Amino acid sequence: MKVTIDDVAEKAGVSKTTVSRILNGNFGHNKPETREKVLQVIKELDYQPNALAKGLKQMKTNTIGIILSNLQNSFWISVLEGVEDVCQRNGYSLMICNSNENAQLEEDHIKGLRHRQVDGIIVNATLKNRQLYETFIEENYPLVSINREIYELPIDMVLMNNIKGAKQGVEHLIDLGKMSILLMVYPVEGVSPRIDRIEGYKQALAERGIAFNEENIQIVTEGKGNAKARVMELLSGENKYDAIFSTNNQMTLEILEGIKQLGLQVPADIALLGYDETVWSMHVDPPLTTVKQPAYEMGELAAKRLIQLIESKRKLKPKTVLLEPELIIRKSCGIKEK
């Protein structure tokens, strides 16, 4: 039933060595007629080489793994598409795992992937398995970290410029006359994008000479509904805000809901700035001003780099790529006051 290289060899009246050579680009410079014959038999038998056997022998599977933390966020889907496209163009398969931001799961997946002999891994690291990442480096195992900086480890990374992204956004808000900007962010815990966005926020304030108020930064626990509850609480409290900067697109939707439920208008009563561009950004009410990140490109670059690492004969020096965000201005932050 299953047709193997032996079947092909026998039927073509050659040795399996010859078949193998022809399959893999003809090192031995076979005679054209042998070649023809073998190729024809392969077609006749619809022979598909067994990648497991090949992989076992060559210690290479042409498969890479990716570990993501959240599939529901469309940002990651774009990244995934970028990775997938590059894989496809280069003859690699993609194994996908979801860590859900869970360190144990991340470790299991990493081990699982290596045990399945993938040639390399792209990871949006939880950052909670430092020792594991170090092992990779020691073993010179191809690994690229996306979106999050793994601090002080010589590792390949492709990151977004989050300081600049947040800074641009906040500057825009300030230019529009906003003075009391509420920054909402999911827990930081050493995760560079969140840390950097806070930093960008602070820098913008500092450069424009606006006093920084610690209470204007609110860390909200991840989980459905939390951001909505928090924003409603905050907007009903003592502090007055004229703008909210949401650093996550799911959170943005919740904030919007909370604001509306309070009977407030965006941007008349309060401005709203979102992070990450999505299909719905321009369609919500009001159309959202957002900091757009080149997600697809990040996926592409990470995959390209990983394949480079895999296929390079010698050890490559770790490299960090920083991608630039772009501010997309719509209506949710209002227009310049006179």
Partner DNA sequence: GTGAAAGCGCTAACAC
Partner DNA sequence: GTGTTAGCGCTTTCAC
80, interface contact from DNA, its own copies, none, CB < 5-8 Å by kind: its own copies
17, interface contact from its own copies, DNA, none, CB < 5-8 Å by kind: DNA
Distance of CA 319 to the CA centre of its chain: 17
Which residue, 88 or 213, has its beta carbon nearer to its own copies?
Answer: 88
Cβ 244 vs Cβ 264: under 8 Å: no
Indicate whether 4 belongs to the interface with DNA (CB under 7 A): yes
Shortest distance, position 113 Cβ to DNA, whole Å = 15
Cβ 23 vs Cβ 49: under 8 Å: yes
Q: How many residues are there in the chain? A: 338
34, interface contact from its own copies, DNA, none, CB < 5-8 Å by kind: DNA
How far lies 167's CA from each of 2, 58, 155, 164, in Å?
A: 60, 49, 27, 5
CA–CA distance, 331 with 314 (Å, rounded to integer):
51
Q: Which amino acid is at 291?
A: V
Cβ 246 vs Cβ 234: under 8 Å: no
Binding site for its own copies (CB under 8 A): 1, 48-53, 55-56, 61, 63, 71-72, 74, 77, 80-81, 84-85, 88, 93-98, 111-117, 139, 250, 253, 256-257, 278-280, 282-286
Which residue, 286 or 318, has its beta carbon nearer to its own copies?
Answer: 286
Shortest distance, position 144 Cβ to DNA, whole Å = 25
Shortest distance, position 115 Cβ to DNA, whole Å = 8
324, interface contact from DNA, its own copies, none, CB < 5-8 Å by kind: none
Shortest distance, position 214 Cβ to DNA, whole Å = 54
Q: Could you say which residues in the range 46-105 bind DNA, by CB under 7 A?
A: 48-50, 53-54, 56-59
6, interface contact from DNA, its own copies, none, CB < 5-8 Å by kind: DNA
Give the three-state DSSP class for 24. Answer: coil
Q: To which H or E segment does residue 310 belong?
A: helix 295-311
Shortest distance, position 22 Cβ to DNA, whole Å = 8
User: Stretches 43-51, 160-168, 199-207, 268-276: which one binds DNA (CB under 7 A)?
Assistant: 43-51
96, interface contact from DNA, its own copies, none, CB < 5-8 Å by kind: its own copies
- 245 beta partners: 183, 273
CA–CA distance, 244 with 235 (Å, rounded to integer):
10
Indicate whether 24 belongs to the interface with DNA (CB under 7 A): yes
Give the three-state DSSP class for 187. Answer: coil
Which residue, 192 or 293, has its beta carbon nearer to its own copies?
Answer: 293
User: Stretches 21-29, 226-234, 250-258, 262-270: which one binds DNA (CB under 7 A)?
Assistant: 21-29
Q: Which amino acid is at 189?
A: E
Which residue, 37 or 230, has its beta carbon nearer to DNA?
Answer: 37
Q: Any residues with CB less than 8 A from the CB of 260 and at least 6 apart, and which?
A: 266
CA–CA distance, 8 with 5 (Å, rounded to integer):
5
148 class by beta-carbon count within 10 Å (0-12 exposed, 13-18 middle, 19+ buried):
buried
Closest CA to 245 of 177, 189, 198, 292: 198
Distance of CA 18 to the CA centre of its chain: 43
Q: Could you say which residues in the range 282-301 bind DNA, by CB under 7 A?
A: none
Which residue, 112 or 190, has its beta carbon nearer to DNA?
Answer: 112
Residues near DNA (CB under 7 A) are 2, 4-6, 13-21, 23-24, 28-31, 33-35, 48-50, 53-54, 56-59
